Amino acid sequence: MNDMRIVERTVSTETAKMTARGVQVYYDENHALKDVDADILANTVTAFIGPSGCGKSTFLRCLNRMNDTVSVARVVGEIKLDGEDIYDKRVDPVTLRARVGMVFQKPNPFPKSIYDNVAYGPKIHGLTRNKAEMDEIVETSLRKAALWNEVKDRLNAPGTGLSGGQQQRLCIARAVATSPEVLLMDEPCSALDPIATAQVEELIDELRAHFSVVIVTHSMQQAARVSQRTAFFHMGHLVEYGETGQIFTNPKDPRTESYITGRIG
Ligand SMILES: Nc1ncnc2c1ncn2[C@@H]1O[C@H](COP(=O)(O)OP(=O)(O)OP(=O)(O)O)[C@@H](O)[C@H]1O
């Protein structure tokens, strides 16, 4: 009898877009992030969850060097984008932030027209040669942010005149306009009503076809709805990181279980 077995190999289709190794963050004496290792996968929505002050936003801001703007912050460890160290002295943080874009908690459109809000990034990064190319980027970005139909007849109106949900989608269009490879979102729905939140959540799912999305959220329901991977932070530690379904239904660490069942946080 032939007892030779065919060993099936699981071929991983998961590509790490960003890798973080041994990341520590100090704000003066406060050791806010402790030895974090994590991979951010390509074309995946990753949610960062955990109680207030656990370091979610701090880690998010490490991924595009936004902590550089905080004078007391010190980042140690290694973070790579496509294998390249983003903290290398030769990396220009402004160029990096076009590749790793960011959307903030409160919609913050510039006091400019809808068109100019979206055109701003491509203009400063010299991504277009003429008006026709810029028009194209503005339209495509507004379409990707599911805002085009609502604003196409008033592109010269001020961005600040839009509703809160529209302003947040305008900020997403602004970030999308530089063709980012990763989009970081820090509680992007916390200032939005349930309808605008649902629109942004739907959008997040569509955006992952184009790039990786990392979202900090206080809502476990939101993390479960939008993400494929979830990272649970607690007191500066990345306690558990895995498939969203596993984290919510079968957490391995008791701290994760306590958080998702509402016992801590
Ligand atoms: N700009 C800053 N300057 C000094 N300390 C900071 C700064 N930002 C965050 N911290 C500190 O770092 C720790 C982690 O904060 P962080 O904002 O990353 O947590 P978080 O999990 O995102 O919290 P939240 O859910 O409340 O936004 C906290 O102790 C906080 O006080």
Q: Which atom of ligand 1 is nearest to the CA of 60?
A: 18
Decide whether any atom of ligand 1 lies within 6 Å of the 261 Cβ: no
In a domain, 243, yes or no: yes
In a domain, 10, yes or no: no
Say whether pLDDT at 108 is over 60: yes
In a domain, 7, yes or no: no
> Two tokens at 228?
């494929």
* Lowest-pLDDT range of 60-69, 187-196, 226-235: 187-196
pLDDT of res. 65: 97
Mean pLDDT, range 80-94, rounded to an integer: 96
pLDDT of res. 8: 45
Distant-in-sequence contacts of 258-261, Cβ < 8 A, 24+ apart: 259/49, 259/50, 259/51, 259/232, 259/234, 260/220, 260/232
In a domain, 4, yes or no: no
> Two tokens at 187?
């509680």
- 9: which DSSP letter? P
Burial class of 158 by CB neighbour count within 10 A (0 to 12, 13 to 18, 19+): middle
pLDDT of res. 13: 58
Decide whether any atom of ligand 1 lies within 6 Å of the 74 Cβ: no
Say whether pLDDT at 10 is over 90: no
Report residue 2's pLDDT band, with 50, 70 and 90 as the boundaries.
very low
Report residue 265's pLDDT band, with 50, 70 and 90 as the boundaries.
low
- Cβ partners under 8 Å of residue 246, min gap 6: none
Per-residue pLDDT of 137-164, as tens digits, reads 999 999 999 899 999 999 999 999 999 9
> Two tokens at 101?
């874009």
The predicted complex's ipTM stands at 0.97
In a domain, 43, yes or no: yes
Residue 26 Cα to ligand 1 middle (Å): 10
Mean pLDDT, range 240-258, rounded to an integer: 96
**CA distance linking residue 91 with residue 222, whole number of Å:** 34
Q: Which atom of ligand 1 is nearest to the CA of 233?
A: 21
Q: Which atom of ligand 1 is nearest to the CA of 61?
A: 18
Per-residue pLDDT of 174-206, as tens digits, reads 999 999 999 999 999 998 889 989 999 999 999
Answer whether 42's CB lies under 8 Å from 16's CB: yes
The protein residue with its alpha carbon nearest to ligand 1, atom 31, reads 53
pLDDT of res. 249: 95
> Two tokens at 11?
């071929």
In a domain, 2, yes or no: no
> What pTM value is reported for the model?
0.92
In a domain, 105, yes or no: yes
Query: Residue 249 sits in which domain range?
Result: 17-260
In a domain, 6, yes or no: no
Count how many domains the chain has. 1
Which CATH number covers residue 125? Answer: 3.40.50.300
**Mean per-residue pLDDT of the chain:** 93
Per-residue pLDDT of 31-45, as tens digits, reads 999 999 999 999 999
From residue 208, give the alpha-carbon distance in Å to each of 44, 111, 183, 228, 251: 6, 29, 9, 10, 25
